[in-house]
């Protein structure tokens, strides 16, 4: 039944109350998600000094990054990257306290941004990343053909640091046979390394627009799979299975037996990667319900 109002003032007041109720519901949801995802997990971010620059879905924000800095207090720090009024790349620093309070001063060009929705995206990306599974690597994952140096800005963005689509991380990390991940230690050129029981996947949506899939000749043992549940075990596995692969050019990777998988748009990429992963190690449950789809379901 349609709502009726005695005046425009009553209608405006009712709409305002609905907006406030929706905002309170989102704030409550964010606090519940904070407790589920991040409470007690701040130290997991200490293991990697330079986390990937994640693409943002918030209008006006290009990307965001997480990091911990003890000298800045007992909190998780957030950097957002955006274009200022002169179209130059700028960044702003915010933080999340251990009590779940999100703080950030938004510049004039981002005054349209809803802080609660931004906090929701940040929590969503932390869940996708799952920081405890990552191990820092001693060198770059893939190096450039021409100079032997890591390729930065490989997507033709004029030298800006490349960004990573967090959906790709979520999809590969949530595979049933995923064990641990590696992040390049010198520079971050967009590549991430994913260790599975039967293979290693080096993925980068920007550089060469391809992933590399290297089958492991002798699949990991049951003991090694169990070891991957601990940090010391993950470090050991990364050293044994990923470190020998990294630091090569793309041509050298192919020569060593890695298969180059040319990427397609995201939805097609998921289907393509499921097929490729199943060629190496068949699993019936490789389809992943991504965070954005779970959120859309809950909002209906």
The reply to whether 155 and 222 lie within a common domain is: yes
Query: Tokens 């955006």, residue?
Result: 82
For residue 128, the model assigns a pLDDT of: 93
pTM: 0.85
Please report whether residue 4 resides in a domain.
no
Please report whether residue 12 resides in a domain.
no
The reply to whether 147 and 252 lie within a common domain is: yes
For residue 155, the model assigns a pLDDT of: 45
Confidence band, pLDDT 50/70/90 cuts, at residue 267: low
Is the pLDDT confidence value at 260 over 60? yes
* Residue 111 belongs to domain spanning: 18-129
- Name the β-bridge partners of 192: 183, 203
Please report whether residue 272 resides in a domain.
yes
Confidence band, pLDDT 50/70/90 cuts, at residue 109: very high
Query: 189 versus 41: which is more confidently predicted?
Result: 41
For residue 140, the model assigns a pLDDT of: 81
The reply to whether 179 and 270 lie within a common domain is: yes
Most confident of 89-103, 157-171, 285-299: 89-103
Span of 14-28, 43-57, 138-152, 259-273 with lowest mean pLDDT: 138-152
Domain count, the chain: 2
Average pLDDT over residues 19-41: 88
The reply to whether 124 and 143 lie within a common domain is: no
How distant, in Å, are the alpha carbons of 31, 176, 194, 241, 258 from that of 286?
30, 7, 15, 22, 21
- pLDDT tens-digit map of 115-132: 999 999 999 999 999 999
The reply to whether 143 and 43 lie within a common domain is: no
- pLDDT tens-digit map of 160-179: 778 888 999 999 999 999 99
């Amino acid at each position: 039944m349609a709502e009726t109002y005695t005046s425009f003032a009553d209608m405006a007041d009712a709409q305002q109350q609905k907006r406030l109720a929706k905002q309170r519901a989102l704030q409550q949801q964010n606090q519940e998600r904070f407790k589920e995802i991040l409470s007690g997990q701040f130290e997991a971010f200490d293991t990697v000094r330079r986390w990937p620059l994640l693409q943002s879905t918030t209008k006006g924000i290009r990307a965001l990054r997480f990091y911990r800095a003890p000298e800045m207090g007992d909190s998780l720090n957030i950097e957002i990257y955006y274009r200022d009024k002169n179209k130059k790349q700028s960044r702003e620093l915010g933080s999340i306290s251990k009590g779940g309070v999100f703080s950030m001063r938004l510049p004039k060009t981002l005054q349209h941004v809803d802080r609660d929705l931004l906090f929701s995206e940040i929590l969503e990306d932390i869940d996708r990343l799952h920081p405890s599974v990552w191990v820092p690597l001693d060198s770059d994952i893939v190096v450039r053909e021409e100079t032997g140096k890591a390729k930065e800005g490989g997507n033709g963005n004029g030298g800006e640091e490349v960004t990573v689509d967090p959906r790709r991380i979520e999809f590969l990390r949530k595979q049933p046979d995923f064990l641990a991940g590696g992040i390049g230690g010198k520079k971050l050129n967009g590549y991430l390394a994913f260790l599975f029981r039967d293979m290693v996947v080096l993925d980068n949506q920007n550089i060469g627009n391809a992933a590399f899939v290297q089958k492991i000749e002798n699949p990991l043992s049951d003991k090694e799979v169990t070891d991957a549940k601990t940090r010391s075990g993950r470090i050991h596995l990364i050293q044994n299975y990923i470190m020998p692969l990294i630091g090569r050019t793309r041509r050298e990777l192919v020569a060593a037996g890695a298969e180059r998988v040319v990427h397609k748009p995201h939805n097609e990429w998921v289907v393509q990667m499921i097929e490729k992963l199943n060629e190496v190690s068949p699993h019936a449950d490789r389809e992943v319900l991504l965070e954005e789809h779970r959120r859309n379901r809950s909002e209906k």
